[in-house]
Chains A and B, each alone.
Chain A
């Protein structure tokens, strides 16, 4: 049983802060039995909770007291601790980021008494460089996939898949000839899986290059990679077809989703939950003819209460702009560009 009870009281009950603000209040210690307190530590930190593995960070810690306590004493320790820079409090479906003020008494040879209270941390409106989480990388820092290189990789992958898959299927055929049915089934499944996976991945890598044989070069422009809540966001898409085709749809969308990873290794599961989808521009079904240019452009208002971008190791709020051109009977063209939405 702990030798004392700790409680945290906030100055004027205030629990909402911005990074850099001082949190003021009192720690009350009710001592149940004599104790030698090596350190009464107060810490401010954030951690995630929800569907994903717990991520945490940014501890601001201070020692309030070192010394002895005697049974029956009621001690009071005023504190003032600055909220460190870090992501804002966020409550979503899969991902939550909460801040905590915690106090712990380090007492040798006893269970450390502790107490913890949540606080709300939000960035001030218009903050120029808010912290969007420890795993956040600026959109500009992401290198776009080189489609020409991806096409070469797709061809190599396809070749390897067909050769490897074909070899395994040949082994299955030979096993069947040798009356080894279980061996034939195993080789057959492996061969078909290898060929199927290679074909699928190769198609995804080569899809845009194949589509541009009909569409010509596609201009997908996202002028700003950073946006703010409550602001307009614009993007555009254009192409001049080089061959006739039946375009079933072209659409430009702004999307926001939560992503959380639970478990690890082969048991790791990625959960996603859509938070919103806004159509910037849409072109209905039409026939494409060479030289007949198509362009889409549009803008949407990012809601003032939308989630801001957040990225920690296993928990994320992801914003992206997605462009898609669907062609009947031909490979579609599809691309997604990540952006960051600031509070």
Chain B
């Protein structure tokens, strides 16, 4: 069982078994032998989301336009297509903006710019806002459609995540393209589900 698991893993991951921690302290930490500080495919903090976003549009331009009163932009796509990532990346560029989930049940904060996830419509008032929506809403000055992620882009996203949590010099785990292709096919482009499987792969290798 163990050998079949490690055999399967070696087909999924390149260079996993050649990793050796250079920092002796890393040996005491579960991800140390992978030369990682943590599992890159778990939940992230807001600044990690912002740093790892590979936006589909020029977010600096979107941020500049959101500073104009009444500008409205929507990011449209199914679950796991990157709506939250885009909104959090905008928040990192707009300290005066407030990010909120419309399905959290909490009242919306007052802010000059609202970044609303899981929105179903525009908030009251004429302020600027960016929405994360599943279905397109009429009346937006700008619409960014987030479709299925192509394989080369997913590869880039995965590499960025792994690099973000690199512990030190030396090799880090690398996912085979064939594995990523199979995951994309299985989950129809839902990155949350793709990352859930990659999370388990890393756990298998780390423990």
Contacts and interface: CB of A to CB of B under 8 A. Distances in A.
A50 B39 contact: yes
Interface in A81-97: 91, 93, 96
Contacts of B101: 264-265, 267
A343 interface: no
Interface stretch (B12-20, B24-32, B148-156, B178-186): B24-32
A310 to B, nearest CB: 16
Contacts of A13: 24-25
Contacts of B43: 49-54, 262
A118 interface: yes
B105 interface: yes
14 contacts: A49-B43, A50-B43, A51-B42, A52-B43, A54-B43, A54-B45, A96-B30, A96-B38, A96-B39, A118-B37, A265-B101, A265-B102, A266-B103, A266-B118
A91 B118 contact: no
A15 B30 CA distance: 15
What is the interface residue range for chain B against chain A? Answer: 20 to 34
Contacts of B103: 264-267
A15 B29 CA distance: 12
A93 B203 contact: yes
Given A91-B29, A265-B102, A267-B79, A49 B38 contact: yes
Nearest to A118: B29
A265 B39 contact: no
B95 to A, nearest CB: 14
Q: Is the interface of B mostly helix, strand, loop or mixed?
A: loop
Interface of B: 24-25, 28-30, 37-39, 42-45, 79, 101-105, 118, 199, 203, 207
Contacts of A54: 43-45
Nearest to A269: B192
B37 A91 contact: no
A150 interface: no
Given A54-B43, A91-B29, A265-B105, 18 more contacts: A13-B24, A13-B25, A15-B25, A16-B28, A49-B42, A49-B43, A50-B42, A52-B42, A52-B43, A53-B43, A91-B30, A93-B203, A96-B38, A118-B25, A264-B101, A265-B101, A267-B79, A267-B118
A91 B39 CA distance: 11
B42 A264 contact: no
Contacts of A51: 42-43, 199
Nearest to A273: B203
Nearest to A119: B25
Interface in A1-56: 13, 15-16, 49-54
Contacts of A53: 43
